[in-house]
């Protein structure tokens, strides 16, 4: 048995990473992890590609599109190998507007209660795009997938790998992959453009309503399996635990892999600590929930949660499942000299809401951070 | 959830109501609304029929099963009239174990924060049964329902009516009715027995994962319609609002009718104010979530929510969607003389959890009361 060779000192595996927009706030350079500033986040319903939050686990692979092949494997030994041209030609293009959110969004607030392991995301590890590609369902049927009963999963593997050759991987339940309503696609377009390198060029999975970690980028293979992906990120990460669980007691087998995310919202304007002018204050933010559950209401408080007002939701551009966020706004008169604690919380179609504080949802990995978002501001005289 | 108009002086419209089990805690006699005592609630996974919580809006109709007909209407002027015998003969019996919960469960806790309108339910307006009947989907297809696009609803009407002849009614989206996975049935059996009169004899709807108000009892008719049920209980009740909305400002058109319910849990043993013996304390309760989202974890605190332990979930009897509750238990040593505040909170498959307090979810009708459940106890010396 030979150990994997250590990376050559002389060579930076991230040297081939693409250039990035200077406005992004970088949480980690290698691998690259960055979020847009909050006030840019809610400037448009669709996040511009160059500002879309980037969550890379590994170096960005360099893919030569002409020789790229996607491998699709279904039970019974059947498989399919598809070029990009074949993928575009053989399957109708399906478009879906979907928000992706990192499981670690708003982790920095959780760390303030007690330290957690992970990148210190502020509120910007969430973005929205219009994605275009082939339905995963159509591709699996073309590969010869028959009716399946019992528990099955669709495992995705990326072309991105570490120095030992281990690739990023994740899976979703087959039922979601095959549901026409779930709109899971293999995307080659993002907001009408070719997929950028940081977002999975030439092909990525987009699983609407589900944690971003399952929307595998730089997609290498798709395999239907009786078990979830064996990858670290499916088995030993991206799971939630009781606040009492620490790194000595954690048993990753005891919790299910995160798929659908809970209801979330945050205030993007004003920023914490801001001094705002007296008169009419405009509070802006986003709200979103997993599983296509539409945000039906956002409540905003100016007094730390004692009293509430209903924010105005920007009209939804589409009917049906709400895969995309709701942007919202509240205008309220504020008096000179006041110190306000702005708070927002959202309610989704299942009438689930957000927890008041971090204490009950704290977990050692700092995921699923969706407590009421609090922004203290002062009103200038 | 409003009381029926006063009955005519000369005749009690509730005179024909059936006898009830004496253990039930009655919140309203006419119409009859009652819940089982908490400690009986979690004594068995399936609630015995005579202890199942009863939520009647109107007098219980007396139905002669031999002459009963169900009317089914689908767009295009097609309709079907079915006797009970035909319903049993023409459609395969489908069985589903499902928990039903009243939207007003735990309302009494919400009233303590600020008064609300409605029956003062404790934690027992929730129960579980194995239901047997025809799939609504099969019945609608037999009535000639074709493919529908756009927004459609299935409206149910009961045989129960008030003095003016107004019948109970409610609706669900057609998509849920037609989804084989959603398992919506027209039930004539409850825990292997004929449906009891208080629970809808001879036929009721059972909509798993959805607020009890949509599972219309004493079913008279089913109609596919482009609009939701026009009934009071669909339009002007069973909706959630911002805590600031009062009876002067409420606009019932502004909120969607409750369908799937949020994640819920409660402690059934010990009872608030109990004196428990020193040594090993056993805490018991239930947890459930709407939409078939399995309860994946219940956290219990003995110190008001400062620290948490994970409860043991009784094994799920079935795979697939979790329409039924999870019963749970926690054993912990407790010292003589201690004053404990027991708290429970559940997490479901979408990693949604319960809110810490009532303040942020308070609403004028006292529905959707799912804050952390708190039970103060003292430990005897
Ligand atoms: Mo993530
Ligand atoms: Mo109810």
Q: How far is the CA of A238 from the centre of ligand 1 (A)?
A: 7
pLDDT tens string A256-267: 999 999 999 999
B341 CB within 8 Å of a chain A CB: no
pLDDT mean over A135-145: 98
Predicted local confidence at residue B6, as pLDDT:
56
Q: How confident is the model at residue A3 (pLDDT cuts 50, 70, 90)?
A: very low
* Closest CB to A351 among B261, B297, B307: B261
Q: Is the pLDDT of residue B4 over 80?
A: no
Predicted local confidence at residue B224, as pLDDT:
98
Q: Which residues of A touch B148 (CB under 8 A)?
A: none
A-facing residues of B in 234-263 (CB < 8 A) are 240, 242-245, 255-256, 258-263
**φ, ψ (nearest 5 deg) of residue B346:** -115, 160
What residues pair up with A73 in beta bridges, in sequence order?
Answer: A79, A223
Question: If we measure between CA atoms, which residue out of B100, B140, B141, B105 comes closest to residue B121?
Answer: B105
Predicted local confidence at residue A378, as pLDDT:
98
Ligand nearest to the CA of B126: 2
Interatomic CA distance for residues B304 and B302, integer angstroms: 6
pLDDT tens string B108-129: 999 999 999 999 999 999 999 9
Q: How confident is the model at residue A7 (pLDDT cuts 50, 70, 90)?
A: low
Residues 6+ apart with CB under 8 A from A323: A96, A97, A98, A99, A183, A208, A209, A292
pLDDT mean over B57-63: 97
Q: How confident is the model at residue B320 (pLDDT cuts 50, 70, 90)?
A: confident
Q: Which residues of B touch A350 (CB under 8 A)?
A: 259-262, 290-291, 352
Q: Please answer whether residues A324 and A99 qualify as being in contact, where contact means their C-beta atoms are separated by less than 8 angstroms.
A: yes
Question: If we measure between CA atoms, which residue out of A166, A281, A135, A316 comes closest to residue A229?
Answer: A166
Interatomic CA distance for residues B18 and B205, integer angstroms: 20
Distance between alpha carbon B198 and the CA centroid of its chain, in Å?
14
Work out the minimum CA distance from A98 to partner chain B, whole angstroms: 17
Interface probe for A, chosen from B351, B353, B363, B369 (most Cβ of A below 10 Å), is B351
pLDDT tens string A282-341: 999 999 999 999 999 999 999 999 999 999 998 877 777 899 999 999 999 999 999 999
Mean pLDDT of chain A: 96
Q: How confident is the model at residue B346 (pLDDT cuts 50, 70, 90)?
A: very high
Interatomic CA distance for residues B134 and B91, integer angstroms: 6
Predicted local confidence at residue B10, as pLDDT:
64
The mean-pLDDT minimum among A343-352, B222-231, B315-324 falls in B315-324
A307 CB within 8 Å of a chain B CB: yes
Predicted local confidence at residue B3, as pLDDT:
53
Residues 6+ apart with CB under 8 A from B372: A360, B305, B343, B344, B345, B354, B355, B356, B357
* Closest CB to A305 among B307, B319, B360: B360
Interface probe for A, chosen from B301, B302, B360, B370 (most Cβ of A below 10 Å), is B360
A275-276 vs A373-379, strand pairing mode: parallel
Interatomic CA distance for residues B251 and A375, integer angstroms: 29
Predicted local confidence at residue B5, as pLDDT:
56
Percent of chain A with pLDDT over 70: 97
Segment holding B235, helix H or strand E: helix B232-235
Predicted local confidence at residue A25, as pLDDT:
98
pLDDT tens string B277-306: 999 999 999 999 999 999 999 999 999 999
Q: Is the pLDDT of residue A95 over 60?
A: yes
Half-sphere exposure of B239 (CA within 13 A, CB side): 20
Q: Is the pLDDT of residue A180 over 60?
A: yes
Angle in degrees, CA A355, A358, A363, rounded to 5: 110
For the CA atoms of B277, B281, B287, B293, the dihedral, rounded to the nearest 10 degrees, stands at 180
Question: If we measure between CA atoms, which residue out of B343, B376, B371 comes closest to residue B110?
Answer: B371
Interface probe for A, chosen from B350, B356, B359 (most Cβ of A below 10 Å), is B350
For the CA atoms of A217, A221, A224, A226, the dihedral, rounded to the nearest 10 degrees, stands at -80
Q: How far is the CA of B368 from the centre of ligand 2 (A)?
A: 10
User: With the C-alpha atoms ordered A146, A151, A154, A155, is the resulting torsion angle positive or negative?
Assistant: negative
A-facing residues of B in 122-151 (CB < 8 A) are 151
Q: Is the pLDDT of residue B381 over 90?
A: no
Q: How confident is the model at residue A135 (pLDDT cuts 50, 70, 90)?
A: very high
Predicted local confidence at residue A2, as pLDDT:
42
Predicted local confidence at residue A11, as pLDDT:
87
Q: Which residues of A touch B297 (CB under 8 A)?
A: 240, 242, 255
Predicted local confidence at residue A1, as pLDDT:
37
For B333, other C-beta atoms within 10 Å of its C-beta total 9
Work out the minimum CA distance from A341 to partner chain B, whole angstroms: 15
Work out the minimum CA distance from B358 to partner chain A, whole angstroms: 10
Interface probe for B, chosen from A257, A293, A344, A351 (most Cβ of B below 10 Å), is A351
Contact B297 A356 (CB under 8 A): no
Q: Please answer whether residues B311 and A254 qualify as being in contact, where contact means their C-beta atoms are separated by less than 8 angstroms.
A: no
Q: Which residues of A touch B351 (CB under 8 A)?
A: 240, 258, 260-262, 368
Q: How confident is the model at residue A182 (pLDDT cuts 50, 70, 90)?
A: very high
Distance between alpha carbon A155 and the CA centroid of its chain, in Å?
18
* Closest CB to B347 among A240, A263, A345: A240
Angle in degrees, CA B30, B371, B318, rounded to 5: 80
For residue A263, the chain B residue with the least C-alpha distance is: B352
Q: Which residues of B touch A244 (CB under 8 A)?
A: 307-310
Predicted local confidence at residue B2, as pLDDT:
47
- CA dist list (Å): A280 to A330, B85, B89: 10, 67, 67
Interatomic CA distance for residues A212 and B300, integer angstroms: 30
For ion ligand 2, residues whose CB falls within 5 Å: B 102-103, 212-213
Q: How many residues does chain B have?
A: 381
pLDDT tens string B134-156: 999 999 999 999 999 899 999 99
pTM: 0.95
């Amino acid at each position: 048995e030979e150990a994997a060779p250590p990376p050559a000192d002389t060579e930076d595996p991230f040297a081939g990473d693409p250039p990035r927009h200077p406005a992004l706030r970088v949480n980690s350079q290698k691998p690259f992890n960055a979020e847009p500033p909050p006030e840019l986040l809610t400037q448009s319903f669709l996040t511009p590609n160059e500002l879309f939050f980037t969550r890379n686990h590994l170096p960005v692979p360099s893919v030569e599109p002409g020789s790229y092949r996607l491998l699709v494997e279904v039970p019974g030994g059947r498989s399919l190998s598809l070029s990009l041209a074949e993928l575009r030609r053989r399957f109708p293009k399906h478009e879906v507007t979907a928000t992706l959110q990192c499981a670690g969004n708003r982790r920095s607030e959780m760390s303030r209660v007690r330290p957690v392991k992970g990148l210190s995301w502020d509120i910007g590890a969430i973005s929205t795009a219009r994605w275009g590609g082939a339905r995963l369902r159509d591709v699996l049927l073309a590969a010869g997938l028959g009716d399946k009963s019992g528990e099955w999963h669709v495992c995705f593997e990326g072309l991105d790998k570490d120095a030992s050759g281990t690739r990023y991987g994740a899976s979703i339940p087959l039922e979601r992959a095959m549901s026409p309503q779930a709109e899971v696609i293999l995307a080659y377009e993002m907001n009408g453009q070719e997929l950028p390198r940081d977002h999975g060029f030439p092909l990525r999975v987009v699983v609407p309503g589900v944690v971003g970690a399952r929307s595998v980028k730089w997609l290498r293979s798709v395999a239907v399996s009786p078990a979830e992906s064996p990858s670290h990120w499916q088995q030993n990460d991206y799971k939630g635990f009781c606040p009492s669980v620490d790194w000595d007691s954690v048993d990753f087998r005891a919790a299910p892999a995160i798929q659908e995310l809970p209801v979330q919202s945050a205030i993007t304007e004003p920023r914490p600590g801001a001094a705002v002018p007296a008169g009419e204050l405009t509070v802006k933010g986003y709200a979103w929930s997993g599983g296509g559950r539409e945000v039906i209401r956002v409540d905003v408080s100016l007094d730390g949660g004692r009293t509430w007002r209903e924010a105005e939701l920007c009209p939804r551009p589409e009917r049906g499942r709400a895969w995309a966020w709701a942007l919202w706004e509240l205008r309220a008169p504020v008096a000179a000299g006041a110190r306000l604690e702005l708070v927002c919380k959202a309610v989704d179609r299942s009438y689930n809401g957000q927890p008041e504080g971090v204490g009950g949802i704290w977990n050692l990995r700092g995921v699923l951070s969706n407590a009421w978002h609090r922004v203290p501001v002062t009103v200038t005289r």
